[in-house]
Amino acid sequence: MFKNAFYLYYDGFRSMVVGRTLWKIIFIKLFIMFAILKVFFFPNFLATNFDTDTERADHVLKNLTEPSSANGNH
């Protein structure tokens, strides 16, 4: 069964036509997203700037209780 499953994927990947281009696009896209965008442009704000959940909760509470620090425009 495992052999059959292996050859399903192995032969499937080998015989791809359009799929080869698509896999290239997928890998390039994932590389841009995870190795560039996520690392350099999308750090998790709370995870990066605070060490503990208590600090994170305090920060959010501060924004909630001191509206001047996060005031309303929309």
* Binding-site ranges for other proteins (CB under 8 A): 4, 8-9, 11-13, 18-19, 21-23, 25-26, 29-30, 32-33, 37-38, 41-47, 49, 53, 56-57, 59-61, 63-67, 69-74
Neighbour count for residue 50 (Cβ, 10 Å): 15
Question: Cβ contacts of residue 1 below 8 Å, gap of 6+?
Answer: none
Q: Are 23 and 16 a contacting pair, CB within 8 Å?
A: yes
CB of 44 to other proteins, least distance (A): 4
Write phi, then psi, for 72 (nearest 5 degrees).
-85, 100
Q: Are 64 and 71 a contacting pair, CB within 8 Å?
A: no
Nearer to other proteins, 2 or 9 (CB): 9
CB of 65 to other proteins, least distance (A): 4
CB of 29 to other proteins, least distance (A): 7
